[in-house]
Amino acid sequence: MSAASDDLLAKVRVQGAVPRHVAIIMDGNGRWARERLLPRPIGHRQGMKAVREVVEASLEVGVEVLSLFAFSQENWQRPAGEVSALMSLLEEYIQKEADELDAQGVRVVFLGDLDRLGTPQRAAVDRVMAQTAANSKLVLNLFISYGSRAEITRAARLLAEEVAAGRMTPAQVDEAALAGKLFTADCPDPDLLIRTSGEMRISNFLLWQLAYTELHISPVFWPDFGRCELYGAILDFLNRDRRFGRVSA
């Protein structure tokens, strides 16, 4: 923690209600590394450190759910060496952080097509989810091998199966029923979506859940994103007028 981040945290606390659910598209690891003439996996490693700081900051400020987009379905198409570096990093992250996350009351949940993970990664993911399942201070959703269109398609298929089996009627297929079949069925929708590195895209992340989410685009590359940047994004959010399609009070 620094004097600057303490100051921002105090400002957030004065304003009161923090966003319950913050989602982040962590982008810019590769460019962070390129700027320093370093290999891309070093950028991802530095990105892992930023994950630690943002989890700590979320605990400090009282966010209930933190959703991080760590690896998309499309990311499987990156060069084999980079995919393997990211998968090793995932295992290392779980190895290093599981006990501390558990002690801090963080419930770690992995969401996505987890069947595509290799055996050691899948075992690590299952282990940390089981270890932290009873925690409730912060839910840390880590999206791995995830694509939002695939998630919505899967939800539609699950509902179709219910109807075909006679357990539901077509008229019962409503928004709540579909939301109940998404990976995020147990979470409130995100209040705030942050994307780092200045890119202004959603990139197939939480398309359904982001319907009324406030967007904050940060110019900072993910490895440089820390407490100050998170608190700054929350302060920006607190100054928004959320109308959910209605008029202001």
Burial (CB < 10 A; 0-12, 13-18, 19+), residue 176, is exposed
- The alpha helices in the chain, defined as continuous H runs, are 3-15, 29-35, 40-61, 80-103, 119-132, 148-164, 175-179, 227-238
Asked if residue 103 lies in contact with residue 95, where contact means CB atoms within 8 angstroms, the answer is no
Nearer to ligand FPP, 11 or 31 (CB): 31
Give the contacts of 17 (CB within 8 A, at least 6 positions apart): 238
End-to-end CA distance of the chain: 38
Annotated active-site residue 27? The verdict is yes
Assign 84 to helix, strand or coil. helix
Cβ 67 to ligand FPP shortest distance, Å: 11
Assign 162 to helix, strand or coil. helix
- Catalytic-role residue among 27, 29, 141, 191: 27
Nearer to ligand FPP, 61 or 125 (CB): 125
CA distance 207 to 29: 23
Nearer to ligand FPP, 44 or 227 (CB): 44
Cβ 235 to ligand FPP shortest distance, Å: 23
Contacting residues toward ligand FPP, per CB under 6 A: 26-31, 44, 47-48, 51, 70-71, 75, 89-90, 93, 142, 222
Cβ 174 to ligand FPP shortest distance, Å: 34
Residue nearest to ligand FPP (CB): 30
Cβ 130 to ligand FPP shortest distance, Å: 18
Nearer to ligand FPP, 27 or 214 (CB): 27
Nearest C-alpha neighbor of 128 from the set 93, 85, 87: 93
- Catalytic-role residue among 6, 75, 113, 189: 75
Annotated active-site residue 113? The verdict is no
Catalytic residues: 27, 75
